[in-house]
Structure 1
Amino acid sequence: MTVQAILAPVFAQVLLTFALLFWTGRVRFAEVGAGRVRIGDIALGERNWPAKAQQAANAFSNQFELPVLFYGLVALALYTRKADLLFVVLAWIFVASRVVHAGIYVTSNRVVRRFQAYAVGVLVLLLMWIIFAVRILVAPLAV
């Protein structure tokens, strides 16, 4: 696989993270501008934001949890040259699950649906790590 094909899902995940950052800012500024939030109320804790603003902030924060394992895996797969078509397809499925998860989080916030999207991402990422580990551990035996 080409470096571009391997990194394209990473760029999409990074784009999602920045989009959620800007979304969070927009929602928060709107809440302050509308007078529903006073700066003093949120100066020491984010939990005083209204639900929509907190949902956006939580969706943004989630991009620094599970995706960290994704970024690390992609870097290792690139370095070891163990990324193939299956790896790229699974990477895109992982990123799609993150987009769906974030979309649910900032809109309806239906917890069951949000969990389902999260679970898909977890399982796909786990599968990616297992495949990668097997390829690394078996590679010396195949030489």
Structure 2
Amino acid sequence: MESGGLRGVYREVLAELEAGGFGAAGPGEWSAEQIVAHLVANDELMAETTEAVLAGSPFAFYDLAGVHRPELDVLIAECGGLPGLATLLRATSQRLCALVDRLGPAADTPVETHLREGFDLVVDESLPWSRTLDLHTRVHLPKHLAQLRTLRDHPQPA
């Protein structure tokens, strides 16, 4: 398995972060900082799962849709805000992509997967790890990229 598509979506997310100018999140929505903190935490979990697959160890993958804002806010504070989060996201995404490039035939390893993307995607079954990575590339990352673009399109008044 190769990470070309995954790397491409990460490039788009990172370019959006570099463009900056994000406005405030609406009620019940995540801020740009919280979105990036979520992506960092998700990358770390996906990297752990990929390492387990490479090692031949059983592993279950649970998405982080249920991460609470206070937990994201702790990560934001630890990173010093959006610039630090963007730097960390660059590192976590590169690590994940490098691991994906090593998967080869192990990409077909079934992994108990539990995902929830709002009402659009619900997965609660064993999937080949390559399928979960594909969902991350085609659904999860683009969803958060769209959220970032919306926040940039509606900047906070001066």
| Structure holding more helix per residue | 1
* Structure index of larger Rg: 1
Give TM-score scaled by structure 1 length: 0.42
For CA contacts below 8 A with separation 6 or more, give which structure has more relative contact order.
Answer: 2
| Structure holding more strand per residue | 2
Give TM-score scaled by structure 2 length: 0.39
